Structures are given as C-alpha cells and as structure tokens.
Amino acid sequence: MLSKYNIFIVMLLLFAGLQAQEKQNTFKEAFKASLVITSDFSYEFKKSDLQKSEIILKPEFIYRLNRNSKFVLKGQLYSDLNDNLETGVPKETTVSGMNKRLFIGDRTNLELREFYFYTKIKNKLRLTIGKQQIVWGETDGLKLLDVVNPQNFREFILDDFEDSRIPLWSLKAEFDIKDIGVQFVWTPDNTYHITQDFEAPFFTKSLFKSPPKSVSTVLNKPLKPKRFIADSDVGIKLSTFTKGWDLSLNYFYFYDDLPVFYNELKVTDTNNPIVTISPKFKRQHLLGGTFNKVIGSSTLRGEIAYIFNQNFTSTSPEAVLGIETSNQFKSAIGIDYIKGENIISAQLFSDIIIDNISPYNRDKFETNTSLKISRDMMNDNLNAEVLWVHNTNHGDGYIKPQVSYWMNTKTQLFLGSSIFYGNESKLFGQFKDRSRISLGMRWGI
C-alpha cells in the first residue's frame, strides 16, 4: 500500500527540487514551528460520567523554500483519557494504509494530519501535493458540497469539522482562465468515513434497519475500492467573482464515503433466519454550485448539490438486497446578518429524493433549519454563541450554546453544552442520551 503513495513523495521531491533553483531563504527565515494544545472534558448528563477527556497536541512545521514554495507538516497526538469515544484500538477498515493512525495503547494515537508541498509556478499554476483537507461549500453545521474529505463520526457532528474531517493524499491544482478560477482535485486515497461500532456512544443506529431480535445478523467487512488510479476521486471547481456575486460550479466523481448496506435474509439448513449485511462503497456523480452576495448589512449565501444514483436503504419488499436508488437534490440557503459585535446566521436546508422509492427512516422531502446567534464582547475577549439545528419533518435536533474567553494572548477557555432532543430513532434524537456539558482550553505557542 505504501508504494502506491510513493508517487506523492516523488512529486513532492521533484517539485521541491525545481523550486530549489530559485532564491533560497536562510534556515531561520525558512523554518517556522508552532504548537497548539487543546483539552476538552465533557460530562454526560444521562450517564453521570465523563463522556470524553480529550487532550490534543497539534504541532505544525512550515519550511519555506522561497517566496513561492513551502512544505507544511501538521501532526497530532490525540488522547482520550477514559477511552470512551473510540474504545480500544479501532480496526479502521475504511481507512487506506497510508492514512491509518498509530495507536499507542487504547487511549492515545499519533496521526499525520497534513503533509503537503505548496508551490506557485510562474504565478500561473498553484499546486498543493500531499495529505491535505480540501473544503468546498458555503454552509455551516451540515454538509452539502463539503464531501471531498471523509469524516470521523467519533462525536457525530459535534466535533469541529477541522478535527473530524479526515485529510487525504491528494493533488490540488489551481489556475485561472480569464476571470474564472479553476480548481482541479485528484484524490487517489481510498479512505472513507470512520463510523463507530455498535457499543460506541455515537454509533449512528438511525442509518441501519435493525432486524427483529429473533433474527441473527452477520455483518461482513466493507468491500472497499483498492485501485490507486481507477478508484480515485476527481473533481473540478470553477469559481468567479462578478458584479458582487461570488459564484462556483462544482463537479465531483467519487465514492460515497458511506457504504451501501446490502442486506439479505436467508434461512439456514436448521431453519434459522439470518440477515447478512454486506457493506459496499459505490461510485457517484455530484454536480453542484454555490453563491453569495452582500446585501446591505447581510450576506446571502447558498449551495446546491445534485447527486446521481444515490443509494438508500429501503423499506420496500421489492427492493433488491434492501436497497433502492434515486437521484437526490440538496439545497441550502442562508443569511448572515452582522450588526456591531452581533451575528445572526440562519440557514434552511432541503433534501429531496427525486424518484419514487421508499427510503428507510426518512421522508422523501426533508427540511432542516439552523440558527446561530453570536456576540463578541470586551473587544473580542469574550464570545457567547448558540447554535440550534432542527429537523422540521421529525421534530428532532440539537442546541449547542458556548462561551469562550481569551485569558491572555495564548490561552482561550471554553464552556459549552450540546443538548439533543426528539425521537430517538431519528438522526439527532438518537443521541438525546448523549447530551453533555463541556469545559475546554486552547493554548498555542
């Protein structure tokens, strides 16, 4: 597996060698190091116990070859002191060989978060080669176009996306054709979402159709794409800024980061029914776009995504292996109103299944809303904000209030809470026993 990624190392060295011909910096000028340490202790109301005791060290090194080129390395030492969110050493069956974390015991792991070479060639072409995060889209909280990198659902969607997004070995090339910015993305890294085991606090049971208790279940290992070139993801983003409008058009040909859970009911020789679940990753085409425009004191922003042949777990007895396929249209429109130190941000998300199918545990037309109110105080020393995400179809959602305070230049304290509500078979409601209060600190040098 390692050899497949040698192409990245060769490309890194090749471009670095070419750039080395330009004017060099002294080592002191060229090398920058920093370290950010974060801690987060969350207390779960239902269990009356710590849900997580997280300490993360994030060292970052930048080596600037010249004014056009740099190496960036971001590492991470992660420790959950009570080993609760990802119990033991996870198998990481959906993660490629070069992207796996190095576990030191059950509680601690080391991860190469990002390692890339960035260069500008003749001020016309900008290349980023290596392990990186590529983020598309305009929305907050819920994702439409932000699908280039998969996610670790260790904390469902409570974790900062910066931490939960899994960086991939990728190539990003950017150049301009007149007033249109072109971004080409190639991702041969066969890493997909990390979902949690049945016993984990944030196991997303709402996605799976549970068989009756009398029926035993066999869960097969996910069938994961392995071919370096043929199974790679490719995407293109065209963007422009015209007459006050920021616009983008996005296309992505990719494997859905969540496998399709094909299920089959069989009766054994001893007349015992058994359900076999065979997860398999499937290819998709996504076409989408974004826009934003300032109108007075507000910014209007939006995002659409049309996915061809999305697979859904079905309740129809006619569904083949329990799965039906439909095109899917997702849209989001949001408005950010800024007045002084106050920000009010509202978003409306729609998710429509185009074809006439019978999806499991969701409606064909689903609507989510979000509202975020934020206020900076004391010259940005103190910030108070609350985020409310609500599904209007099922009446479930979560509320996340948080206060943060800068103690000094280097240290910031956080106090927050995450409260889920609603039907426990639904996406947000399933975690209502996971509601918690959190205290954290971030320190950087």
Place of tokens 């020789």: 269
Binding flag, residue 306, another protein (CB under 8 A): no
Binding flag, residue 238, another protein (CB under 8 A): no
Q: Choose between 244 and 317: whose C-beta lies nearer to another protein.
A: 244
By CB under 8 A, name the one of 6, 25, 272, 297 that touches another protein: 297
Binding flag, residue 63, another protein (CB under 8 A): no
Q: Where are the alpha helices (DSSP H) in 104-170?
A: 161-164
Binding flag, residue 35, another protein (CB under 8 A): yes
Sketch the per residue contact string, 340 through 369, with another protein: x for CB under 8 A, - otherwise: xx----------------------------
Q: Which residues contact 228 (CB under 8 A, 6 or more apart)?
A: 4, 188
Least distance between another protein and beta carbon 81 (Å): 21
Pairing of strands 411-421, 102-104: unpaired
The answer to whether the CB of 35 falls within 8 A of the CB of 444 is yes
Q: Tell me, what amino acid is at 345?
A: S
Pairing of strands 342-353, 365-377: antiparallel
CA atoms within 13 A on the CB side of 197: 13
260/232 Cα distance (integer angstroms): 18
Binding flag, residue 118, another protein (CB under 8 A): yes
The answer to whether the CB of 293 falls within 8 A of the CB of 245 is yes
Sketch the per residue contact string, 165 through 204, with another protein: x for CB under 8 A, - otherwise: x--------x-x----x-x---------------------
Binding flag, residue 299, another protein (CB under 8 A): yes
Sketch the per residue contact string, 121 through 140, with another protein: x for CB under 8 A, - otherwise: --x--x-x----x-x-xx-x
The answer to whether the CB of 239 falls within 8 A of the CB of 246 is yes
By CB under 8 A, name the one of 43, 161, 184, 186 that touches another protein: 161
431/427 Cα distance (integer angstroms): 8
The footprint of another protein (CB under 8 A) covers 34-36, 60, 118, 123, 126, 128, 133, 135, 137-138, 140, 160-162, 165, 174, 176, 181, 183, 239, 241, 244, 246, 292-294, 296-299, 301, 336, 338-341, 376, 378-381, 406, 408-410, 412, 442-445
